[in-house]
Amino acid sequence: MTGVITVAAVLLIGFGSAAPATESNSVEDLAWLAGCWASIGGQPGSGEQWTVPAGGTMLGVNRTVKDARTVAYEFMQIRETGGNRIEYVARPSGQAGAVFVLVQLSEREAVFENSSHDFPQRIIYRLRADGVLQARIEGQVQGEAKGVDFPLKRVGCAADADAVFAEGALLVLHEKVLESHRTGDLESWMALEADDYVSANNGAVSFPSTAERKAARETYLGSTTFTVYRDLRPPIVRISRDGTLGWVVAEVEVRGTQVSEGAKTEIEAVWAWIELYEKRSGIWKLVGNVSSRRP
């Protein structure tokens, strides 16, 4: 829950002080956060979901719906690390991911902090006596203290809760596709894909081998510098009923430069594509892509 700043800071009272986090803390201490939470005052479908603690992690997904459309989303992870600390990993739509460290914890409050982040620097969850989960982000913006609250109420989890978390996982993978282009990280891009990858582009279907894809992309990324490679709108994600297939429909703005035979060419385009995923041995793999460029 990193959100976007919209209001001035609001003083919260009545919760008491949380104790500093210690090496003995575990994600089990945050079990009160698990479950499904609906946004109070938000439109239907807006809210947050967290898995129960297991394997040293809790996984979460947040969604904001407006006029029956998803306008923002976030995939989160709370995890134990080898350094005897607990981290909150946030991957919001349209923004770079960030890591916050647990600094305070009580039976019904957790505070995560990253003082070097632009905004927020703190993420706070407080479970009030009336059962409301008060999620809050706060920090400094141009030297001024700011904060915004996201009150949530516990609701029953829908039967498709697993699909919601799968959607979050695919959104993270989609962002990795974009980030690989922006950074020129060929290895990260290749690691997402299955060996039997299928491509449909420019009126042709092809089955390039891993070696062929790697060679072509080395040339492509080596000659191209992207200044913009981002979603123009929140991607559409769908999961099959059996949970083994998924697809991400995206509209992506691309800007940059490409060098060919010593000549530099400006790139300015919008691509629409569908990323096709299959869950294999519990891991989502990118098995195909169908793409077209806007005329």
Residue 6 has pLDDT above 60, yes or no: no
Residue 210 has pLDDT above 60, yes or no: yes
Instruction: List all residues 6 or more positions away from 179 whose beta carbon is below 8 Å from its beta carbon.
Output: 185, 188
Q: What is the pLDDT of residues 90-118, one digit of tens each?
A: 999 888 889 999 999 999 999 999 999 99
CA angle in degrees (0–180, nearest 5) for 122-127-132: 110
Task: Please state the rounded mean pLDDT for residues 275-289.
Answer: 96
**Contact yes or no for 91/101 (Cβ under 8 A):** no
Higher pLDDT, 185 or 97: 185
Q: Is 195 left (phi over 0), alpha (psi -120 to 50) or beta?
A: alpha
Task: Please state the rounded mean pLDDT for residues 53-61.
Answer: 93
Q: From residue 101, how far is each of 39, 79, 111, 197, 243 by CA, in Å?
A: 25, 10, 8, 38, 32
Q: In a 3-state reduction of DSSP, which class is residue 97?
A: coil
- Note the pLDDT of residue 18: 59
- Note the pLDDT of residue 100: 97
Instruction: List all residues 6 or more positions away from 136 whose beta carbon is below 8 Å from its beta carbon.
Output: 12, 123, 124, 125, 126, 147, 148, 149, 150
For the chain, residues classed under CATH 3.10.450.50 are 161-293
- Note the pLDDT of residue 165: 74
Q: Which amino acid is at 206?
A: S
Higher pLDDT, 84 or 257: 257
d(CA 56, CA 63): 24
Task: Please state the rounded mean pLDDT for residues 50-76.
Answer: 91
- Per-residue pLDDT band for 8 (boundaries 50, 70, 90) equals very low
Q: Does domain 19-155 have CATH number 1.10.10.10?
A: no
- Note the pLDDT of residue 157: 82
Higher pLDDT, 4 or 22: 22
Which CATH class, in words, describes the domain spanning 161-293? alpha beta
For the chain, residues classed under CATH 2.40.128.20 are 19-155
Higher pLDDT, 196 or 164: 196
Q: What is the pLDDT of residues 252-270, one digit of tens each?
A: 999 999 999 889 999 999 9
DSSP state of 41: T
CA angle in degrees (0–180, nearest 5) for 196-200-205: 75
End-to-end CA distance of the chain: 37
Q: Is 115 left (phi over 0), alpha (psi -120 to 50) or beta?
A: alpha
Q: What is the pLDDT of residues 137-167, one digit of tens each?
A: 999 988 899 999 999 999 988 655 667 778 8
